[in-house]
Amino acid sequence: NEEIQLASRPVGLPDEKTFRFVTTEMPTPNEEEILVKTLYLSVDPYMRGRMREGKSYVAPFAIDEAISGGVIGEVVESKSSNFQKGDIVTGMLNWARYQTVNETSVQKVNPSLAPISTSLGVLGMPGATAYFGLMDIGQPKEGETVVVSGAAGAVGMIVGQIAKIQGAHVVGIAGSQEKIDYLVNELNFDAAINYKDPDFKTKLKEACSNGVDVYFENVGGDISDEVFKRLNVNARIPVCGAISSYNNKEIDLGPRVQTLLIQNRALMKGFLVFDYIDRFPEGIKQLAGWMMEGKLKYEETIVEGFENTPEAFEGLFKGTNLGKLLVKVAEP
Ligand code: NDP
C-alpha cells in the first residue's frame, strides 16, 4: 500500500519537497470498519491553506502524516452491516491507495444516478459551493449582470450556468483563450474575458456595460479590483475564494475597495460551503435536476495515476484544469 504525506510546509508554490510517497502496510478492517480502495481523489485549492500552520476553520495537515481530502472509493472488504463489498463510497479520506475507515466516516454514492466522479464535482462540494454562494448571497435577478472569476473551474462554471438559468447576463473571467471559447461556445456565457489579455480592463468594461450586480469572487487581487470598479448600487459579492493569494508568504490584507462598497451600498460576504451542510441535499437535488433537464453541463480534467497527484495539485495554481480537477487512481 502507499500514501502521500506532507513532507514540509511549502513557501510559495507547492513543489516536490512538499509531498512524500510512503509505502505502508496493507490495512485490515476491524469491527464496524470497511477497507476502501481509492478510485478518484480530489485536489482542491483550499488544501493549500491546510498546508500552512496557524488558526483556520480547519486544522492544518500534520507534517509526516497523510494528506486528506475528498475521495471516492470502492469497498473491497466490509466488517460493517451498512456496507457491502463493491459499494461505492465518498468521504474526507487519506491520499492513500487503500485505507480502513469507520462506517460513519463515508457516505454511499449511487452509481446509477450519475458518473461517480460527479460526487466530487458538480454533485458534490464544488457544486454546492456554487449553488449556495450564488443563490443565498448573490441572489441574481433576471436581467442583472453577474460576473464570476475562476469561471472555467469547478465552482466557477457552475456559478455561471446557474446565473444563466436565473436569466442573468453572465460574464466569466478565466486565464486562457481555450477556456474563454469554452465558456462562450459550450456554456453560453454572454461574454468571457481572459485576465491575461492586455485589453482585459477595456473588454471587461464593454462586457459589463450595465455595471455589475453580482460578483462571485474566486480569485481576489488585481482581477477583482477591476470588477469592483464596475459595481452597481446594491451589488452583492459572495466571497468564495481568493486563489491568487494562496501561495503568498504573508496573508493578503485587502480589500482596498471600501469606498466603492460604500458608494454602492454593496454587500460583500465571505462564506464556507460547510455553513450550508444541512441544506446540501436540497442543493444537490436542484443541481441534478438541472443536469437532467439539460440546463447544466459539467466538465472534468482527470489526471491518471496516484503518482501524479502532487503535479495535479500544483496544476490548480497554473490553471491546467477545465472544470473539476481529479486524479484517477484505479478502476472499480
Ligand atoms: P478551480 O477548478 O477553479 O481551479 C483553480 C483555478 O484558479 C485554476 O484553474 C486557474 O484558472 C485559477 N487560478 C489559479 N491561480 C490564479 C491566479 N493567480 N489568478 C487568477 N486565477 C487563478 O478550483 P475550485 O473551483 O475548486 O475553487 C475555486 C475557488 O473557490 C478557489 O478560490 C477555492 O478556494 C474556492 N472555494 C471555496 C469554497 C468555500 O467554501 N468558500 C469551497 C470550494 C472552493 P485560470 O486558468 O482561469 O487561471
CA of 153 to the centre of ligand 1 (A): 6
Rounded Cα–Cα distance for residues 152 and 291 (Å): 18
Degrees to nearest 5, angle at CA 297 with 68 and 230:
90
Task: Read off the C-alpha cell for 311.
Answer: 503535479
Q: What is the distance between the alpha carbons of residues 182 and 75, in angstroms, rounded to a whole number? A: 37
Going by C-alpha positions, the residue among 195, 191, 234, 192 that lies closest to residue 212 is 234
All residues at 6 or more sequence positions from 211 whose CB lies less than 8 Å from its CB, including other chains: 145, 230, 231, 232, 235
**pTM, full prediction:** 0.97
Ligand 1 neighbourhood includes 75 CB (under 6 angstroms): no
User: Do 297 and 65 contact (CB within 8 A), yes or no?
Assistant: no
Question: Which residue lies with its CA nearest to atom 3 of ligand 1?
Answer: 153
**Three-state SS at 222:** helix
Cβ–ligand 1 contact at 150 (below 6 Å): yes
Q: In a 3-state reduction of DSSP, which class is residue 257? A: coil
pLDDT along the chain (332 residues), means of 10: 98 95 98 98 97 90 98 98 98 98 97 96 98 98 98 98 98 98 98 98 98 98 95 98 93 80 96 97 97 98 98 98 98 94
Say what the pLDDT of residue 250 is.
Answer: 82
> Which residues share a beta bridge with 327?
41, 303
Q: Are 171 and 190 in contact (CB under 8 A)?
A: yes
d(CA 72, CA 109): 8
Atom of ligand 1 nearest to the CA of 129: 42
Cβ of 153 less than 6 Å from ligand 1: yes
Q: Is the CB of 247 under 6 A from ligand 1?
A: no
pLDDT of residue 252: 75
Question: Which of 219, 298, 300 has the most ligand 1 atoms within 8 A of CB, as the residue to mutate?
Answer: 219
Regarding the domain delimited by 2-120+299-328, which CATH topology (the fold level of the hierarchy) does it fall under?
Answer: Quinone Oxidoreductase; Chain A, domain 1 (3.90.180)
Spacing, Cα 106 to ligand 1 middle (Å) = 26
Q: How far is the CA of 84 from the centre of ligand 1 (A)?
A: 36
Q: What is the rounded distance in angstroms from the CA atom of residue 332 to the CA atom of residue 328?
A: 11
Question: Is 200's C-beta closer than 6 angstroms to any atom of ligand 1?
Answer: no
Query: What's the CA-to-centroid distance between 46 and ligand 1, angstroms?
Result: 9
* Residue whose CA lies nearest to ligand 1 atom number 15: 317
CA distance linking residue 317 with residue 48, whole number of Å: 10
CA 128 to ligand 1 centroid distance, Å: 15
CB of 175 shorter than 6 A to ligand 1: yes
* Grid coordinates of 1: 500500500
Nearest CA to ligand 1 atom 39: 272
Is 261:291 a contact under the CB 8 Å cutoff? no
User: Which residues in the chain are classed under CATH 3.90.180.10?
Assistant: 2-120+299-328
Q: Which residue owns the Cα nearest ligand 1 atom 8?
A: 319
Cα angle 319-325-330, degrees, rounded to a multiple of 5: 140
Residue-level pLDDT at 168:
98
Q: What pLDDT, on the 0 to 100 scale, is given for residue 254?
A: 67
CA pair distance 311, 268, nearest whole angstrom: 34
Domain(s) of CATH 3.40.50.720: residues in the chain? 125-275
Distance of alpha carbon 93 from alpha carbon 71, whole angstroms: 6
Q: Can you list the positions of beta strands (E) in 30-125?
A: 33-42, 68-78, 88-94, 98-102, 107-109
Q: For position 255, what pLDDT does the model report?
A: 67
Cα end-to-end span (Å), the chain: 17
Q: Cell match 454602492: residue?
A: 264
Of the residues 158, 171, 218, which should be mutated to test ligand 1's pocket, given the most ligand atoms within 8 Å of the CB?
218
Residues present in the chain in total: 332
Which grid coordinates belong to 9? Answer: 510546509
Topology at the third CATH level for domain 125-275: Rossmann fold (3.40.50)
Residue/partner pairs of 225-228 with CB below 8 Å, 24 or more apart: 225/256, 225/257, 226/200, 226/201, 227/147, 227/149, 227/173, 228/255, 228/257, 228/260, 228/261
- Predicted confidence at residue 133, as pLDDT, reads 98
Cβ–ligand 1 distance for 214 under 6 Å, the answer: no
